[in-house]
Amino acid sequence: MITNEHVNKVYKMGEIDLKVIKDLNLSIEHGEFVAIVGPSGSGKSTVLNLIGCLDKPTDGKITIEGIDVTLLNRTDLANFRGQNIGFIFQSFNLIPVLSVYENIEYPLIMIQNLPKEERHKRIMKLLEDVDMLDQKDKFPDQLSGGQRQRVAIARALVTNPKIVFADEPTANLDTDTSNQIITLMRNIQKEFNTTFIFATHDEKIVTAVDRIITLVDGVVTDDKRIVS
Amino acid sequence: MKNILKMSFRNLLRSGRRTILTASLITIGVMFVLIYAALSGSFKSYMISQVTDSMLGHIQIHKKGYIASVDNLPLDKNLNEKQIDKIKEFLDNSKLIESYTFRLKLSAMFSNYVASTGIRLNGIDPKNETTTLPLFASRVDAKDKTILKEGNILVPELIAKGMKVKKGDTIVLVATNQKGSVNGLNFKVSGSIEPISGPGGRDGYIHINDVKKLLRLKKVEVSEVVIRLKNVKNLEKMMIYLKPLTQMKNKKGKPVFEIHTWKKLTPFYNIVKMLDIMDISIKIILISIVLISVLNVMIMSVYERIKEIGTIAAMGTTPSTITKLFLTEGLMLGVFGTILGSILSYVFVFIINSVGITFSFGRQSDLTLNPILQINEVLIVGVIVIIISLVASISPARKAAKLNPVDALRQN
């Protein structure tokens, strides 16, 4: 479970203090499929960075799985992310020198340090789930956008994270591929009860999620649960 | 660690050309240093052995004050019988010594009955002289190089040419002894002796017994004791062993002996020191090459991969792991360069030895260089390069580790 209590984020732009997030109070339960929406510059990505433990709030408290992450140092935050959080990026951010298999393997080796057999089992299962088993030896530059995002999803999920943050995951994909990716994430959410939090403009995601949080100028203006 | 090595290796391959260029620079630098060290080492050891094995020996003992006035070859600063016995007692009890010899030196007039010139004479015991100075015989231009019979003289090449004397000629040596009495004796020229680098160009050799006759000495006298060690590495050890001799005082409370290593006795040692300074200078140039090239590559590597660093940091890679990744890349560049440079240096040295490079030094010519690449030199250069590669990578690696993931992910 994620809770935000009176979270503010201020960026210093020279002598001007730019308040990007204003008194954010939010709570997200396990297994939720949530979209944070809002116009450009509304603070969607900042919220994602804050609750994704990539950035620290100027003040306020963020608790994830009972841990006040605002109190953690850089190394502890990195370890916390490695154990609990997965990220899916708009431009996939795969490591170009590693193959599909190795990209997915990276967090298991460098972060979780799992034994080889366990790693192999998990990777093969995920490659099957994202339908990339036959592409496992290819390198990122040999894949299409949709294939790369599938690999990025597999990489985000391979550590069995409790939460996956996806910042505009379909922005660089065509409609069909976007729909496939959304379906894939939805299936994974259902299968593993993984929390998915999206920052997006994409209507296709908005129509697929269970909850839509609208952000305008750093303030939550609407928090709507959709009953399917 | 295996995975960090794998990642770093692949990252280096990513910019293959740049990696090859940097590793080549390091390779060339390593080769330059190692080949120079092998050549200068060969030159040094050749010249040192020439100086020590054909004239100076490793250590010399004189009466205190002799070296200060060595140009005059003073007869009043010779060692007397009692002092010689004391020295013998020390030398005979040392296991470090291969052999030693006594010399009685003087200035004299050399005459071929037509003209005369000054000569520095060394009265030697030929047997001990050739044992203590194994290359002495190689300087002698005579059929029988080992024996200098009484009544014979080995004339320095310079004087032999200038005075037009050749083997079999008779010459006259005229000397003044300590009491002011002048004496002259005939000697038969048994051959000429080549000069070596440094002083000694006018040094002729006669039997030590002939010096006694020429100077009409009634008692045993010696100007210098020349010592050869079994191993020249024991030079300092031997000097420590001989220290009690230097501390020995006469009735007036003044030191009796002075003891010097070959380093003090030849100006060639200054050339050795200069070569050593050049060796250090070249190593500093190598350090600069490695430092600048590795630093340059690593900084570029960090700037090119900011987004990637942000990605792996976001996934949970700790700052220390990111630091290790970049340090390993720099380290690998250094290791590749060192290994390749060392192998190529061995090949070059082998080629130089096969071809055979000759050089001239002073009055000597056709000296052949036999460069040897010492394993400790290779290790020292390797360690320097690897440490500098690591040092050059520290700043870029720290920069990468300190990157804020959010800022890094925003980069395109």
Average confidence score pLDDT of chain B:
88
* Cα gap A213→B300, rounded to integer Å: 41
pLDDT reported for residue B143:
66
From the list B298, B299, B319, the residue with the least C-alpha distance to B309 is: B319
Does residue B95 carry a pLDDT above 60? Answer: yes
A112-145: per-residue pLDDT in tens? 778 889 999 999 988 988 889 999 999 999 999 8
Token digits of residue A77: 């935050």
Q: To which H or E segment does residue A35 belong? A: strand A33-37
The partner residue sitting opposite B319, judged by closest CB among A78, A89, A109, is A78
* Cα gap B287→B392, rounded to integer Å: 10
Q: A82–B315: do the CB atoms touch at under 8 Å?
A: yes
Domain containing A178 equals 2-94+156-225
B308 contacts on A by Cβ (under 8 Å)? 93, 95-96
The pLDDT confidence band at residue B195, using thresholds 50, 70 and 90, is confident
What is the residue whose two structure tokens read 């592409």?
A: A135
Query: One-letter amino acid identity for A68?
Result: D
Q: A82–B14: do the CB atoms touch at under 8 Å?
A: no
Q: Does the residue A131 lie in any domain?
A: no
B313 contacts on A by Cβ (under 8 Å)? 78
Does residue B147 carry a pLDDT above 70? Answer: no
Instruction: Find all residues with CB under 8 Å of A92, minimum gap 6, and list them.
Output: A140, A145, A148, A149, A151, A152, A172
Does residue A185 carry a pLDDT above 90? Answer: no
* Cα gap A164→B342, rounded to integer Å: 51
* Cα gap A167→B315, rounded to integer Å: 14
Does residue B145 carry a pLDDT above 60? Answer: no
Q: B320–A81: do the CB atoms touch at under 8 Å?
A: no
A50 CA to chain B: closest CA distance, Å? 10
> By the 8 A CB rule, do B393 and B294 touch?
yes
Q: 3-class SS at A128?
A: helix
* Cα gap B336→B332, rounded to integer Å: 6
From the list A67, A69, A26, the residue with the least C-alpha distance to A44 is: A26
B336 CA to chain A: closest CA distance, Å? 20
B2 contacts on A by Cβ (under 8 Å)? none
pLDDT reported for residue B363:
54
Token digits of residue B123: 């009265």
Average confidence score pLDDT of chain A:
89
What is the maximum span of chain B, computed from C-alpha positions, in angstroms? Answer: 101
Token digits of residue B43: 């030159």
Does residue B293 carry a pLDDT above 90? Answer: no
The pLDDT confidence band at residue A12, using thresholds 50, 70 and 90, is confident
Q: What is the ipTM metric for this complex?
A: 0.90
> By the 8 A CB rule, do B153 and B189 touch?
yes
A21-52: per-residue pLDDT in tens? 999 899 999 899 999 999 988 888 899 999 99
Q: What is the mean pLDDT of residues B169-177?
A: 93
> By the 8 A CB rule, do A153 and A185 touch?
yes
Q: Does the residue A50 lie in any domain?
A: yes
The pLDDT confidence band at residue B144, using thresholds 50, 70 and 90, is low
* Cα gap B36→B30, rounded to integer Å: 10
* Cα gap B131→B359, rounded to integer Å: 28
How does DSSP classify residue A164?
Answer: E
pLDDT reported for residue B185:
93
pLDDT reported for residue B194:
82
* Cα distances (angstroms) measured from residue B299 to each of A49, A185, B256: 27, 38, 66
pLDDT reported for residue B379:
94
- Looking at per-residue pLDDT, the higher value among B182 and B199 belongs to B182
Enumerate the domain spans of chain B: 2-51+269-410, 65-255
A88-105: per-residue pLDDT in tens? 888 889 988 889 999 999
pLDDT reported for residue B197:
58
Q: What is the mean pLDDT of residues B305-325?
A: 91
Does residue A8 carry a pLDDT above 60? Answer: yes
CATH code of the domain containing A51:
3.40.50.300
From the list A11, A18, A22, the residue with the least C-alpha distance to A60 is: A22
pLDDT reported for residue B60:
94
* Cα gap B35→B31, rounded to integer Å: 6
B24-58: per-residue pLDDT in tens? 989 998 998 899 889 888 888 888 888 888 888 99
Query: One-letter amino acid identity for B280?
Result: I
A74 contacts on B by Cβ (under 8 Å)? 318-319
The DSSP bridge partners found for residue B228 are B99
* Contacts A–B by Cβ distance under 8 A: 70
**Least-confidence region, from B115-119, B328-332, B365-369:** B365-369
How does DSSP classify residue B219?
Answer: S
What is the β-pairing status of strands A33-37 and A195-199? parallel
Does residue B146 carry a pLDDT above 70? Answer: no
Q: Is A196 exposed, middle or buried (0-12, 13-18, 19+ CB in 10 A)?
A: buried
Q: What is the mean pLDDT of residues B326-341?
A: 92
Q: Does the residue A111 lie in any domain?
A: no
The partner residue sitting opposite A81, judged by closest CB among B308, B314, B320, is B314
Q: Does the residue A217 lie in any domain?
A: yes
* Cα gap B124→B52, rounded to integer Å: 16
Q: What is the mean pLDDT of residues A171-197?
A: 86
The partner residue sitting opposite B11, judged by closest CB among A52, A81, A97, is A97
pLDDT reported for residue A80:
92
A47-78: per-residue pLDDT in tens? 999 999 999 999 999 999 889 999 999 999 99
* Cα gap B329→B8, rounded to integer Å: 5
B404 CA to chain A: closest CA distance, Å? 8
The partner residue sitting opposite A54, judged by closest CB among B7, B321, B405, is B405
The pLDDT confidence band at residue A146, using thresholds 50, 70 and 90, is confident
pLDDT reported for residue A113:
79
> By the 8 A CB rule, do A48 and A212 touch?
no
Q: 3-class SS at B332?
A: helix
* Cα gap A100→A154, rounded to integer Å: 10
The pLDDT confidence band at residue B344, using thresholds 50, 70 and 90, is very high
What is the β-pairing status of strands B97-111 and B203-207? unpaired
Q: A87–B318: do the CB atoms touch at under 8 Å?
A: no
pLDDT reported for residue A216:
92
Q: Does the residue A187 lie in any domain?
A: yes
pLDDT reported for residue B175:
93
What totals of helices (H) and strands (E) does chain B contain, helices first?
Answer: 15, 12
Rg of chain A, C-alpha, whole Å? 17
Q: A55–B404: do the CB atoms touch at under 8 Å?
A: yes
Q: B316–A54: do the CB atoms touch at under 8 Å?
A: no
Does residue B199 carry a pLDDT above 80? Answer: no
Does residue B275 carry a pLDDT above 80? Answer: yes
Sign of the CA dihedral with B92 first, then B96, B98, and B100 last: negative
B411 CA to chain A: closest CA distance, Å? 11
* Cα gap A158→A110, rounded to integer Å: 13
Instruction: Find all residues with CB under 8 Å of A44, minimum gap 6, and list them.
Output: A36, A37, A38, A199, A200, A215
A76-85: per-residue pLDDT in tens? 999 999 999 9
B104-138: per-residue pLDDT in tens? 999 999 999 999 999 999 999 998 998 999 888 88
Token digits of residue B12: 């280096």
Q: What's the number of domains chain A is made of? A: 1
B296 CA to chain A: closest CA distance, Å? 21
* Cα gap B239→B242, rounded to integer Å: 5
Q: For testing the chain B interface, which of A74, A105, A149 should be mutated: the one with the most B CBs within 10 Å? A: A74
Instruction: Find all residues with CB under 8 Å of B61, minimum gap 6, and list them.
Output: B79, B87, B224, B225, B227, B242, B245, B257, B258, B259
Q: Does the residue A105 lie in any domain?
A: no
* Cα gap A197→B251, rounded to integer Å: 102
Q: Does the residue A83 lie in any domain?
A: yes
* Cα gap A41→A48, rounded to integer Å: 13
Q: What is the mean pLDDT of residues B8-27?
A: 86
